[in-house]
Structure 1
Amino acid sequence: MDNRETIGDAWRAGAARLREAGVDEAEGNAELLLLHLLECDKARLLMDMREPFPPERREAWERLLARKAAGEPVQYMTGGQHFYGRLFDVSPAVLIPRPETELLAEAVLAAADERLDGRERPLRVLDVGTGSGALAVTLAAERPRWRVTASDLSPEALAVARANAARHGAAIAFAQGDLLEPFLAPGAVQAFDVIVSNPPYIPSADMPGLQREVRDYEPHLALDGGPDGLAPYRRMAAQLGRLPAMPTIVAWEVGIHQAEVAAQLLREAAAWREIRFVRDYAGIDRHVLAIR
């Protein structure tokens, strides 16, 4: 790099390098990496675009660009992702929270307020397969009176979720285990008003064709949902009847073309007053809510 290079020059050259490497949204990714490298916000970055690029950070900048050009998600490189207005720690042990999952949190909050007086009552809520803890922490932070439990099969994911709960001052109980198994053991007495889950839902055969940032870097444990992507839903639906009491609300995030099948699994598991779908930003039925 030229010593006279400005921050703006570095951003444009970095974006060009990422674009040549086949990175989507190259300009945006280069900007996020610069914000991380220079430890500033976007307003500061825009103000400093004509300032000299700090020479002491050139080597680090080259390393960041090389990692991104190889496909590594920016969120793992910076260590964070925003969700529902809060910054969450993320690592390769957890799925990166997606914007569409914010719609699931929003739908659960609205349904619980409507059907269970969720703003007034200390509801018992379980987030199954919590990953980074984004859903559990969001629900606990938005409704501080709720008693939220979060579970995950991965101890590494639970460590990230615990750190995020501490970061946001959310009082959450954690359990390690597969889907609802931790709550089905002999002598288990805990019942839940609300169960929410964003489990793996990618069909196994589709895994090799995923975007490389997802396929090569995000945990397959959080992605692969079995032959048709619905294995976790079948198991959870079968487990519901073994809980001490049937929850009033079950809310699932699902993959494309899976909503109706997931709804039928819930119909076969229990009698519900209503089953509704929530569409994501692309118009796909992305969330299924069953309400008793």
Structure 2
Amino acid sequence: MKRTIFELTPQRSIREAFVEASSFLDGLRVVEPQRNAQLLLEHVLGLSGTSYYMALAEPFPADRRHALEEAINRKAQGVPAQYIIGEQEFYGRPFEVTPAVLIPRPETELLVEAVLTYGRELTTRSNERLQAIDIGTGSGAIAITLALQEPAWDLLASDISPDALEVAAHNAKQLNASVEFRQGNLLEPFAGMTPDILVSNPPYIPAEDIEGLQPEVRDYEPRTALDGGPDGLNPYRIMMAQLPLLSAPPRLIAFELGMGQAGDVAELLRSAGHWKEIVTVPDLAGIDRHVLGISR
């Protein structure tokens, strides 16, 4: 009979505990069982990287057994490991994550890279600092990373969720990043402003596709950060419609998007008529993942 509750066999080495935990998760068809087992083991033991691998032959600490069992059983129920750990690395830095925010993805680091590359080419207005706004900031990963990578830029970020903004503000404080956070719907908190850069990773999953997502995404990550309307493009259309709220359109606009949406989002930017160059950036899997509009 397949076990549904994980109980670690006593007197195991750390390596044996890993094998037992990953086998248990694999038996329940948890995605990436070995990776999840290692993440949770490292968290429970307070080890990472080389220190974890060097400790594999050591006895598993008896006083950490209950903590590991609890973590593995939560993972078996579908809870993302990042929510169990309370942290996700982004751009080499630890970010607190809770069920109030989307877990930052590696492909979003490529969006940050693109914004840094093209943003650094912008000339400032009257020698003033460049101003960048991050729409739908969630954990604050994009805004905080930009602020730390480019201290000469003024960073502001918004989210409609006060709980998400609380997480983002905590991350900014922990990482010593200067970011101003505002609550509101998309561009509304920045009415009357003239930002040089606008970046956003908005909800882009078509509503009818959400039920087909992996359970740990569908059931645990915030739906407001996933649901992009009937075709996934609602947030982009709304932001384009909200552009007149700004005193002038941003000279650089950068969006993350879903598979198959690059052409439609590029056309939205093209039709707006504010940007001379439209650039599409693929992710590491070759999927067109980001679209940028550039007006130097």
1:57-80, CA deviations, whole angstroms, 9 ceiling, x for partnerless residues?
211111111111111111111111
For the residue of structure 2 that corresponds to 1:24, the secondary structure is coil
| Aligned position for 1:209 | 212
Q: Residue type matched to 1:171 in 2?
A: S
**Alignment pair present for 1:274 and 2:277:** yes
Partner of 1:50: 57
Percent identity, aligned pairs only, is 53
Query: Counterpart in 2 of 1:71?
Result: 78
Deviation at 1:279, TM superposition (A): 0.2
The answer to whether residue 244 in structure 2 is matched with residue 241 in structure 1 is: yes
Aligned to 1:181: 188
Contact 1:121 1:146 survives alignment (8 Å): no
Q: Secondary structure at the match of 1:28?
A: helix
What do the CA deviations read for 1:54-113 (whole angstroms, capped 9, x no partner)? 112211111111111111111111111111111111111000000000000000000011
Alpha-carbon offset, residue 270 of structure 1 = 2.6
* Cα separation, 2, equivalents of 1:285 and 1:229: 15
Establish whether residue 232 from structure 1 lines up as the match of residue 235 from structure 2: yes
Structure 2, unmatched stretches of 5+, are 1-7
User: 2-side partners of 1:270 and 1:242: how far apart?
Assistant: 16
Per the alignment, residue 155 of structure 1 pairs with 162
CA-to-partner distance for each residue in 1:95-144, whole Å, 9 max, x for gaps? 000000000000000001123369x9621000000000000000000010
Q: Which moved more, 1:23-32 or 1:193-202?
A: 23-32
Aligned partner of 1:91 among 94, 98, 101: 98
Cα deviation for residue 42 of structure 1 reads 2.6
Amino acid at match of 2:98: S
| TM, length-normalised to structure 2 | 0.94
Map 1:251-270 onto structure 2 (within 5 A). 251-270=254-273
1:31 paired with 2:34, answer no
User: Normalising to structure 1: TM-score of the pair?
Assistant: 0.95
| Count of residue pairs the alignment pairs up | 287
Q: Distance in 1 between matches of 2:291 and 2:172?
A: 26
Q: How far apart are residue 3 of structure 1 and its match?
A: 3.2
What SS is found at the alignment partner of 1:115? Answer: coil
Q: Is contact 1:238-1:269 (8 Å) kept? A: no
Check conservation: 1:95, 1:222, Cα contact below 8 A. yes
After TM superposition, give the deviation of residue 4 of structure 1 in Å.
2.3
